Amino acid sequence: MLRWCAIVLLVCTGAFGNPTPEMPAAYDTIIIGMGAAGCTAASTLSKAGKKVLALEAMDRIGGRVNTVPFGDGVVEVGAEWIHGTEQSRVYNLAIQNNVSVLPQDIDFEVYRSDGSIGDKKVLNELLTFSLSVIDDPPETPEPLGQFITRRLKDYMKEKYPALLADQDFIDNLLEFLDLVIDNYESSNSWNEVSTESKYTELGGYQHMSWHRHGYKTLFEILLNTYNNGPGYPNLDIKLKKEVTQIAWPQDPTQDVVVYCKDGSSYRAKNVIVTVSLGVLKERHSSLFSPSLPKEKTEVIQNLGIGVVDKVVFLFPKPWWPDTETFHGFVWNGADRATVSKDDSWITKIFGVSTPLGSSTALTLWTSGEGAKLVETLPEDVVKRKAMELIRRFMGKNRTIPEPIAMLRSSWYSNPYTRGSYTYDNLSTPQYPHARATLAEPLVDSSGAPRVLFAGEATDNTHFSTVHGATDTGFREANRLLTKAKL
C-alpha cells in the first residue's frame, strides 16, 4: 500500500528517480517548534524577507511558555519571570513596546508545619546567603548541596551558634533550601547539581513579571501581531503539525524534506530544529535521516533535563497576606514523620507563590521525581492533598476556603516537551563543550548549514531560560542570514 502511494506520487510530480534539483524549494527555511527560540528565529528571518514555514506540534504557540486565562486575569503554567533585565532581548522587547513589566521580590514569609510563623528575617538572611555562595564556587566541582551546607554552617557558626546547635532546625532548613534550589534548577536533589556550571545571570531585576499582560505578549511582539499588528506575510505558521522526520541532503543542490505525522511533507533550503532536549532524547534516532553524528547523540544522552511543575488554585477571593510573593513551608522533623509514604510528595513542595497576573490565584511548585509523580495522580487527589498542605501551614488563624478552580502543568508527560528545562548535573563538567556541540549545524558537502539547532539547551550560559532560548533563535537565524550574504 505504501509502495503504491509512493509510485503514484512520483508519477504525478513527474520526478522519477531523484527529486529534480531545479525544482525550487517552497521555503527558504522551515522552523520546527514555535517556542521562544522558534518564534525569535521566525521573526528574525521574516523581517529579513525570507520565506519561512513554522511547524508546531501543539495547538498553540509558546512551547514551555503557556499563559492561560484564570479568574480575573491570567496565570503562567510555564515560564513566569524575565530573569534579569540587563542585555535581555526579552526585557528589551517588552520595554520597546511599552509593555509595563513589574518586579517581584524573592522575600519569603516562612510558615512551620505546626502552624506557627518562622523567623522571617533570619530565614531570609540564610536563604539569601545560601543562594549567594553559588556565585563563588569551589575550585574542584562538588555537589551543590554539600557545598552550600558547608558554607552555611561556617556562616552560622559565627552569627547564629545557638541555631546551628539545634539539629532539627538545621535539618529542616537544609531540606527547605534543597527544595528552593530544585525549583530553580529543575533537579531532583541539590546534590545532583554541580557547583561547576557555565550558567550566568543577567544583571538587573531577577523576577520581572508580565503580570496581566501574560508572557504570551512576548510571542505577539515577536510575530508582529501585538496590538493588532499584521504579522509577517512571508511567514506561514502551521499548528498541530507534528514533525516525524527531517531528511537532509549531502548534495548542495537538493532540498531538506520535512515529514509530518499527518502525512504531509515540506521542502526548504534549510531547517532550524528547536525541540527540547527531552524530545531529542526520546526521538532523535527516528527524527533525523541520516542519523545524527555520534558527537551529538552523546551530548543528547549526557546533558540532563529536569522537571518543575505548577498546581494553580483559584479562590473566591484572596485570603493570604499580600505582602510577600513567596510563602515558604518549613517542616518539623516530627510532623514530617507522620506523612505516609504515598503522600511524601507533599513534603517536597517548598511553598506557594502569588502570581501577579490574577488577584485570586495561588501557585504550588513541585520538582524532580515529586513533580513526575504528581503528574500521574488524579486531579481530586492532588487537590485534596495540596489543600491539606496549605491549611496545615497557613490555616492556623484563618479559615481557608475551597478553591473554585484548579490548573496544573504536566511538562514531563507532554510528548512535545518531556521535561521543563536543562541543568548542569555532576557529570556535566566532563563535557565542557556539550551545549556548543548540540548547537553545531549539520552541513552538506559544500559546508552549507542544512539542519540548525536552537533552543534553551543549546545556550552555553543562559540555558533553562526564555531569554536564553530567544538568543539561540536569533543566533541561528543570523547564521543563515550571514551565510546568504557571502
Ligand X SMILES: *[C@@H]1O[C@H](CO)[C@@H](O)[C@H](O)[C@H]1NC(C)=O
CA distance 41 to 89: 13
Nearer to ligand FAD by C-beta: 156 or 349? 349
397 binds ligand X (CB under 6 A): yes
351 binds ligand FAD (CB under 6 A): no
469 binds ligand FAD (CB under 6 A): yes
CA distance 94 to 80: 14
471 binds ligand FAD (CB under 6 A): no
CA distance 331 to 335: 7
430 binds ligand X (CB under 6 A): no
188 binds ligand FAD (CB under 6 A): no
57 binds ligand FAD (CB under 6 A): yes
Residues in the chain: 486
**Contact with ligand X (CB under 6 A) among 116, 285, 289, 413:** 116
**Contact with ligand X (CB under 6 A) among 396, 404, 405, 430:** 396
Residue 425 binding partner per list ligand X, ligand FAD, none, with a CB distance cut-off of 5 to 8 Å that depends on partner kind? ligand X
CA distance 454 to 31: 10
List, in sequence order, every beta strand (DSSP E) within 295-435: 304-306, 308-314, 326-330, 351-353, 361-367, 405-408, 421-423
- For residues 141, 146, 152, 153, the Cα torsion angle rounded to the nearest 10 degrees is -120
Contact letters for ligand FAD, residues 272-291 (x by CB under 6 A): --xxx--x------------
181 binds ligand FAD (CB under 6 A): no
Indicate the helix (H) or strand (E) that contains 431. none
- Binding segment toward ligand FAD, per CB under 6 A, in 73-81, 129-137, 333-341, 441-449: 73-81
- Binding segment toward ligand X, per CB under 6 A, in 14-22, 112-120, 285-293, 364-372: 112-120
- The CB-of-378 to ligand FAD minimum distance in angstroms stands at 21
360 binds ligand FAD (CB under 6 A): no
302 binds ligand X (CB under 6 A): yes
Please answer whether residues 319 and 395 qualify as being in contact, where contact means their C-beta atoms are separated by less than 8 angstroms: no
Residue 441 binding partner per list ligand X, ligand FAD, none, with a CB distance cut-off of 5 to 8 Å that depends on partner kind? none
Cα–Cα nearest to 427, from 199, 200, 201, 196: 196
421 binds ligand FAD (CB under 6 A): yes
Q: Does residue 240 come out as left (phi exceeding 0), alpha (psi in the -120 to 50 range) or beta?
A: left
Nearer to ligand FAD by C-beta: 176 or 215? 215
366 has which bridge partners? 309
353 binds ligand FAD (CB under 6 A): no
> What nine digits make up the cell of 111?
510558615
427 binds ligand X (CB under 6 A): yes
CA distance 190 to 205: 24
Maximum distance among all Cα pairs of the chain, rounded to whole angstroms: 85
CA distance 330 to 325: 16
Q: Does residue 104 come out as left (phi exceeding 0), alpha (psi in the -120 to 50 range) or beta?
A: beta
Contact letters for ligand FAD, residues 290-319 (x by CB under 6 A): ------------------x-x---------
97 binds ligand X (CB under 6 A): yes
Q: Where are the alpha helices (DSSP H) in 186-260?
A: 216-222
Sign of CA dihedral 150, 155, 160, 162: positive
264 binds ligand X (CB under 6 A): no
> How, if at all, do strands 235-238 and 108-112 pair?
unpaired
Contacts of 131 (CB under 8 A, 6+ apart): 180
Cα–Cα nearest to 37, from 481, 473, 482, 475: 473
**Contact with ligand FAD (CB under 6 A) among 178, 456, 471, 476:** 456
Nearer to ligand FAD by C-beta: 466 or 480? 466
- The CB-of-464 to ligand FAD minimum distance in angstroms stands at 5
217 binds ligand FAD (CB under 6 A): no
Q: Which residues in this chain contact ligand FAD in the complex, by CB under 6 A?
A: 32-38, 55-58, 63-65, 78-81, 83, 242-243, 274-276, 279, 308, 310, 409, 411, 416-417, 420-421, 455-456, 464-467, 469
| Binding residues for ligand X (CB under 6 A) | 97-98, 111, 115-117, 192, 301-302, 304, 394, 396-397, 425-427
